[in-house]
C-alpha cells in the first residue's frame, strides 16, 4: 500500500507552505532583511508511508518539519491533516486552543536524545504527559498505556520510575519514540532522529521505526542528511535547496536516476562503504547559498555545472515530469544525470 | 606477533606500542585506552574506527600529550621520526616541555571535530594560524602573513587576503574546518591526526574536505591518522584500519580485507548493522545492547556482553590477545586463537 505516488491515501497534504523570518539584526528596522526559510513547498504523505526530506544544512528542511507540526507558525499555505473521522483540518489555520485538541494526531521526534527529555521527570511522567494532557485519563489507565508503549519500544515496566540520565543515547531515543506513540498519532515528524546515535544503536532504532510503521500504519516525515539511512527507511524522497523543493519521487528512482543536478551532486558526495569502488569525480563546489540573499532564478545555478543564462533569470517551475515525479529544473527532461554509483561488491558479501 | 612487528623495510613515521590512558575518577578507574598498538608509514593514511566510548579520541589526544584533568597516560611508547630524522618517544617527554611543544604543530598536528570550539573567538583566524609559524620558525610578520594567505588559498578559502583578518564566527562551518586544516598544515607536519574531521559537516562539504586532504597529502607527503565512526570515510580514504572496542584494538588489516572478510564478531556485526549506500536491505542486523562502561572493566573480552558467539568460561575468563589470523590480518578473539593477553602491573588495578 505504502510508497505509492498518488495521493488517494494521503493523510497529510502540505500546500504551498512558506515561512519567512525577519533577520534578527533587522527586527524593528526598516527594510529588515527577510529570510525565506521555506519557499512555497507542496507535498503529501500517505498513511503508512515514510517521506524523507533531504538537503544540506540551511536547506529549510527542519523549518518545514517544524511548520507542519506548528512548532512554529507557517507564514503562508495550508497544512491539511486527515483525522480518524476522515475529516480534513488545516493545521496552519487553527487557533492555539483548537490546535491543543488535535496535537495528539501528530508528533515530532528530535535529534538530540540528551537535551530533548526533561532531566527532572521520570520516564513515566515524560511519556504520560501528552496522554494526561490530551485525553484526561486516570492515573491507572495512564500507567497501563505507558507500560504498553514502553514494551513496544523495547523497554519495560522496570524503567517507569527512572530518570533520563540513567539511560544511554539509544534508550533515550526509545523513550522519545514511546512518548510520541502514546496518543496513537497518525503522523510523526522525525528530525534527524538517528543522527546523534552510534552506528550500532542506529540500526536498532531504524528497525524499530519500520516495525512500528508496519504495525500501526504510521506516516513518517523523516528529515535527514544521511542518504544511506534514507535509502533504508524512506519510500519517497523530497530534496530541498535554499528553502525550495527541487525534486520529489520514489526512493529508488531518485537514487538511481536523479532529475535535478543538485540531487545528482548530493548523491555523488555520499561516501561509499566499498573500498574497491572508484571514487566519484563529480564534486559540488562552493557552499549552499544564504537564504538572506539567495541567487536569482534557480537558487542552485551558481553551483550547477549545467547552468545557462536562463537559469540565472527564470525561476524553474515545480512540475510533474512523470507520474509522481516532481522536479524544478528547466532542463530536467534533457539532462541525463548519474545516480548513485553502484557497488562492485555483491550484495550478499555484507548482507545475507 | 603484533601488527607493529610485521613492518616492511621502511621504518614507520609513528609507531605506538602498549598505550594506556586511564582516568582516575572518584568511583573507579576509567580505562579509556587500555593497551593500543598502531603504526603509520610514510605518506600513509590509516583509520582508527569505533563507536563513542571506544577510546579512539583519547588515543588521538594521547599522541600529542593533550590528555588533561584526571586523565593520565600510564604506559606506552609513541616513537615518532621527526623532520630531521631523529627518533623521539613522544610519551617520554614532559607534556609542558619545550621539546613537546616543538613536536606539536611542527612535526605532528591534530584536526579536531568542532572547529567552532577549537578556535579562539577573540583572535582572527590569520593570527591563530600564524601563531604556529611564530612558535616554530623565525619568519618575519610579513613573511608569516604571506605564508598564511598562501595556505588559506591552498585549502580552498576564496579571497584569502580578506579572510585572513576575519574572526571564526564570520566563517561558515565548512570554511572554519578548512581554516582548521590550514592551521594544522601550516608548518608542514609529518603526521596529521584527524579526529572526526568531517563529522559536523554536510556530505557535500565532507566530500570537498576529504578530497582536499588527499590532494594535500599527495603534495606534502604527510601521514594521516583518521579517527572516525564513519565506515564509509574509512573505506574511501585509508589503506589500513584499526577497529577499536572498549579501549582496545580488536581487529586490524587492510581496508579491502576488513570490508571483504572481517574476522572479529564485533566488526562483522558492525558492518552488517550499517546501511550501505546503493545496497538497500529490508532490515538491518542489530548489535543488542550498547557499549559497556570502561570504568573498572572486568578482565574478559570487552565484547563478551554483546557477542552472539560468546563462550561462557572462556571469553569471560581472560582477555584474548591480538593475534595474526591471516596475511596482514590480526584480531582479538578466542574463536580464532587461544592466546591470552599477558597481565601487567595495570591489569589488576
Domain residue ranges of chain B, discontinuous segments joined by +: 3-107+189-331
Q: Within an 8 Å CB–CB cutoff, is residue A282 touching chain B?
A: no
- The domain over range B3-107+189-331 is classified in CATH as 3.40.50.300: yes
Contacts of A283 in chain B (CB under 8 A): 204, 207-208, 211
Q: Is residue A343's pLDDT more than 60? A: no
Torsion of CA B305, B306, B307, B313, to 10 degrees: 10
CA distances from B55 to A251, B18, B61 (A): 37, 14, 10
pLDDT band for position A256 (cuts 50, 70, 90): very high
Q: For the packed helices B265-273 and A199-216, what is the interaxial angle rounded to 10 degrees? A: 50
**What is the 8-class DSSP label of residue A92?**
G
Q: Is residue A4's pLDDT more than 90? A: no
**Between A200, A226, A341, which is nearest B273 by CB?**
A200
A243 within some domain: no
Task: List, for residues A125-161, the tens digit of each pLDDT value.
Answer: 999 998 888 888 888 999 999 999 999 888 889 999 9
Q: How far is B324 from chain A (nearest CA, A)?
A: 22
Instruction: Please name the residue that has the C-alpha cell 579517527.
Output: B227
A311 within some domain: yes
Write the DSSP string, A101-158: HHGGGEEEE-S-TTTSS-TTS-HHHHHHHHHHHHH---HHHHHHHHHHHHHHTT--GG
Smallest CA–CA distance from A303 into chain B, residue: B204
Q: Do B277 and A199 touch (CB under 8 A)?
A: no
Residues A151 and A222 in one domain: yes
Smallest CA–CA distance from B277 into chain A, residue: A228
Instruction: Please name the residue that has the C-alpha cell 533569470.
Output: A313
Q: Residue A62: what pLDDT?
A: 92
Contacts of A25 in chain B (CB under 8 A): none
Full residue range of the structural domain in which residue A279 is found: 260-340
Residues A131 and A212 in one domain: yes
Q: Which of A195, A216, A234 is the last residue of a domain?
A: A234
CA distance A51 to A10: 12
Q: Residue A80: what pLDDT?
A: 96
pLDDT band for position A281 (cuts 50, 70, 90): low
Contact B232, B300 (CB under 8 A): no
Q: Residue A38: what pLDDT?
A: 95
Q: Do B232 and A270 touch (CB under 8 A)?
A: yes
Residues A308 and A159 in one domain: no
Contacts of B276 in chain A (CB under 8 A): 228, 272-274, 343, 350-351
Instruction: Please name the residue that has the C-alpha cell 523513550.
Output: A175
Q: Do A350 and B276 touch (CB under 8 A)?
A: yes
Task: List, for residues A28-80, the tens digit of each pLDDT value.
Answer: 556 677 889 999 999 999 999 999 999 988 899 999 999 999 999 999 999 99
CB-neighbour burial class of residue A104 (10 A; exposed 0-12, middle 13-18, buried 19+) = middle
Domain with residue A220: its CATH number is 3.40.50.300
CA distances from A148 to A124, A159, A214 (A): 12, 12, 17
Q: How far is B23 from chain A (nearest CA, A)?
A: 20
What is the average pLDDT across A103-118?
Answer: 85
CA distance B183 to B216: 13
Q: Is residue A124's pLDDT more than 60? A: yes
Q: Taking the CB of residue B289, how many other CB atoms lie within 10 A of it? A: 13
Q: Do B259 and A272 touch (CB under 8 A)?
A: no
Residues A209 and A274 in one domain: no
Residues A152 and A295 in one domain: no
**Between A203, A227, A283, which is nearest B211 by CB?**
A283
**Between A200, A206, A351, which is nearest B270 by CB?**
A200
Q: Residue A121: what are its φ and ψ, rounded to 5°?
A: -105, 145
Q: Do B274 and A347 touch (CB under 8 A)?
A: no
Task: List, for residues A310-340, the tens digit of each pLDDT value.
Answer: 999 999 999 999 999 999 999 999 999 988 8
Q: Residue B6: what pLDDT?
A: 41
CA distance B169 to B173: 9
CA distance A230 to A50: 9
Q: Within an 8 Å CB–CB cutoff, is residue A101 touching chain B?
A: no
CB-neighbour burial class of residue B42 (10 A; exposed 0-12, middle 13-18, buried 19+) = middle
As given in the structure block, the three cell numbers for residue A129 are 504527559
Q: Residue A280: what pLDDT?
A: 64
Question: How far, rounded to the nearest angstrom, does the alpha carbon of residue B94 sit from its chain's CA centroid?
Answer: 22
pLDDT band for position A24 (cuts 50, 70, 90): low
Beta bridge partners, B38, equal B16
Q: Residue B251: what pLDDT?
A: 98
Average pLDDT in chain A:
88
Q: Residue A212: what pLDDT?
A: 92
CA distance B55 to A259: 43
**What is the 8-class DSSP label of residue B216?**
H
Q: Residue B149: what pLDDT?
A: 96
Answer yes or no: is the ipTM higher than 0.85.
Answer: no
Residues A286 and A220 in one domain: no
Stretches in chain B below the pLDDT threshold 50: 1-9
Torsion of CA B109, B114, B119, B120, to 10 degrees: -140
Stated pTM of the model:
0.88
Q: Residue A346: what pLDDT?
A: 44
Q: Give every CB contact of residue A312 below 8 A, 6+ residues apart in sequence.
A: A295, A296, A297, A298, A301
Q: Is residue A188's pLDDT more than 90? A: yes
pLDDT band for position A2 (cuts 50, 70, 90): very low
Q: Within an 8 Å CB–CB cutoff, is residue A275 touching chain B?
A: yes
Task: List, for residues B195-234, the tens digit of each pLDDT value.
Answer: 988 887 888 888 888 998 999 899 989 999 999 999 999 9
Q: Which of A319, A300, A204 is nearest to B51 (CA)?
A: A204
Residues A183 and A276 in one domain: no
Beta bridge partners, B236, equal none
Residue B323 falls in which region: left (phi positive, over 0), alpha (psi -120 to 50) or beta: beta
Q: Let me know how long chain B is.
A: 349
Residues A68 and A188 in one domain: yes
CA distance A238 to A318: 12
Residues A134 and A58 in one domain: yes
Number of domains in chain A: 2
A250 within some domain: no
Q: Residue A279: what pLDDT?
A: 67
**Between B172, B273, B279, which is nearest A199 by CB?**
B273
Beta bridge partners, B224, equal B45, B192
Q: Do A200 and B202 touch (CB under 8 A)?
A: no
Q: Let me know how long chain A is.
A: 352
Task: List, for residues B14-56, the tens digit of each pLDDT value.
Answer: 999 999 999 999 999 999 999 999 999 999 999 999 988 899 9
Amino acid at each position: 500500500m505504502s510508497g505509492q505516488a498518488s495521493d488517494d491515501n494521503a493523510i497529510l497534504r502540505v500546500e504551498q507552505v512558506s515561512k519567512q523570518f525577519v533577520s534578527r539584526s533587522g527586527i524593528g528596522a526598516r527594510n529588515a532583511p527577510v529570510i525565506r526559510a521555506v519557499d512555497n513547498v507542496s507535498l503529501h504523505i500517505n498513511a503508512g508511508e515514510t517521506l524523507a526530506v533531504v538537503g544540506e544544512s540551511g536547506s529549510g528542511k527542519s523549518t518545514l518539519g517544524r511548520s507542519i507540526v506548528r512548532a512554529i507558525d507557517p507564514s503562508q499555505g495550508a497544512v491539511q491533516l486527515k483525522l480518524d473521522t476522515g475529516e480534513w483540518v488545516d493545521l496552519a489555520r487553527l487557533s492555539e486552543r483548537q490546535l491543543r485538541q488535535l496535537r495528539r494526531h501528530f508528533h515530532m521526534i528530535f535529534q538530540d536524545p540528551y537535551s530533548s527529555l526533561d532531566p527532572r521527570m521520570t520516564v513515566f511522567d515524560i511519556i504520560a504527559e501528552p496522554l494526561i494532557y490530551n485525553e484526561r485519563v486516570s492515573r491507572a489507565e495512564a500507567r497501563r498505556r505507558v507500560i504498553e508503549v514502553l514494551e513496544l519500544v523495547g523497554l519495560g515496566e522496570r524503567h517507569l520510575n527512572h530518570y533520563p540520565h540513567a539511560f544511554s543515547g539509544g534508550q533515550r531515543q526509545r523513550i522519545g519514540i514511546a512518548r510520541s506513540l502514546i496518543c496513537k498519532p497518525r503522523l510523526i515528524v522525525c528530525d534527524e532522529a538517528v543522527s546523534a546515535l552510534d552506528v550500532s544503536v542506529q540500526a536498532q532504532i531504524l528497525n524499530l521505526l519500520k516495525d512500528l510503521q508496519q504495525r500501526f500504519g504510521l506516516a513518517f516525515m523523516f528529515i535527514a542528511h544521511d542518504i544511506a539511512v534514507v535509502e533504508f527507511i524512506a519510500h519517497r524522497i523530497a530534496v530541498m535547496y535554499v528553502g525550495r523543493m527541487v525534486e520529489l519521487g520514489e526512493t529508488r528512482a531518485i537514487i538511481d536516476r536523479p532529475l535535478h543536478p543538485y540531487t545528482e551532486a548530493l548523491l555523488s558526495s555520499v561516501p561509499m562503504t566499498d573500498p574497491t569502488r572508484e571514487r566519484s569525480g563529480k564534486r559540488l563546489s562552493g557552499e549552499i547559498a544564504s537564504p538572506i540573499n539567495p541567487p536569482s532564478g534557480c537558487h542552485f545555478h551558481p553551483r550547477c555545472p549545467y547552468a545557462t543564462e536562463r537559469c540565472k533569470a527564470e525561476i524553474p517551475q515545480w512540475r510533474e515530469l512523470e507520474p509522481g515525479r516532481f522536479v524544478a529544473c528547466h532542463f530536467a527532461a534533457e539532462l541525463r544525470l548519474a545516480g548513485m554509483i553502484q557497488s562492485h561488491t555483491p550484495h550478499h558479501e555484507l548482507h545475507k | 606477533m603484533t601488527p607493529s612487528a610485521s613492518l616492511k623495510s621502511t621504518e614507520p613515521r609513528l609507531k605506538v606500542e602498549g598505550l594506556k590512558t586511564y582516568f582516575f575518577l572518584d568511583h573507579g578507574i576509567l580505562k579509556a585506552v587500555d593497551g593500543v598498538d598502531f603504526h603509520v608509514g610514510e605518506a600513509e593514511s590509516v583509520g582508527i574506527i569505533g563507536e563513542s566510548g571506544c577510546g579512539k579520541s583519547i588515543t588521538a589526544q594521547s599522541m600529542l600529550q593533550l590528555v588533561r584533568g584526571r586523565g593520565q597516560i600510564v604506559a606506552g611508547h609513541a616513537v615518532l621520526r621527526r623532520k630531521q630524522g631523529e627518533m623521539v618517544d613522544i610519551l617520554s617527554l614532559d607534556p609542558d616541555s619545550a621539546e613537546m611543544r616543538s613536536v606539536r604543530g611542527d612535526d605532528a598536528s591534530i584536526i579536531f571535530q568542532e572547529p567552532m570550539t577549537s578556535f579562539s573567538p577573540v583572535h582572527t583566524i590569520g593570527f591563530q594560524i600564524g601563531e604556529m609559524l611564530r612558535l616554530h620558525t623565525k619568519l618575519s610578520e610579513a613573511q608569516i602573513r604571506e605564508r598564511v594567505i598562501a595556505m588559506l588559498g591552498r585549502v580552498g578559502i576564496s579571497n584569502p587576503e580578506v579572510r585572513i583578518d576575519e574572526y571564526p564566527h564570520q566563517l561558515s562551518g565548512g570554511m572554519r574546518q578548512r581554516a582548521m586544516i590550514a592551521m594544522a598544515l601550516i608548518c608542514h607536519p609529518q603526521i596529521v591526526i584527524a579526529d572526526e574531521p568531517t563529522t559536523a559537516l554536510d556530505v557535500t562539504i565532507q566530500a570537498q574536505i576529504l578530497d582536499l586532504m588527499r590532494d594535500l597529502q599527495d603534495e606534502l607527503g604527510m601521514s594521516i591518522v583518521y579517527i572516525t565512526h564513519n565506515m564509509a570515510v574509512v573505506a574511501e580514504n585509508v589503506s589500513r584500519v584499526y577497529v577499536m572496542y572498549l579501549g582496545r584494538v580488536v581487529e586490524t588489516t587492510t581496508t579491502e580485507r576488513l570490508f571483504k572478510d572481517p574476522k572479529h564478531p564485533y566488526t562483522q556485526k558492525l558492518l552488517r548493522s550499517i546501511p550501505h549506500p546503493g545496497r538497500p536491505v529490508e532490515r538491518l542486523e542489530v548489535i543488542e545492547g550498547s557499549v559497556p562502561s570502561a570504568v573498572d572493566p572486568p578482565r574478559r573480552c570487552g565484547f563478551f556482553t554483546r557477542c552472539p558467539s560468546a563462550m561462557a568460561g572462556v571469553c569471560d575468563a581472560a582477555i584474548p590477545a591480538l593475534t595474526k589470523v591471516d596475511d596482514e590480518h590480526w584480531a582479538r578473539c578466542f574463536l580464532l586463537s587461544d592466546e591470552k593477553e599477558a597481565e601487567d602491573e595495570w591489569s589488576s588495578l
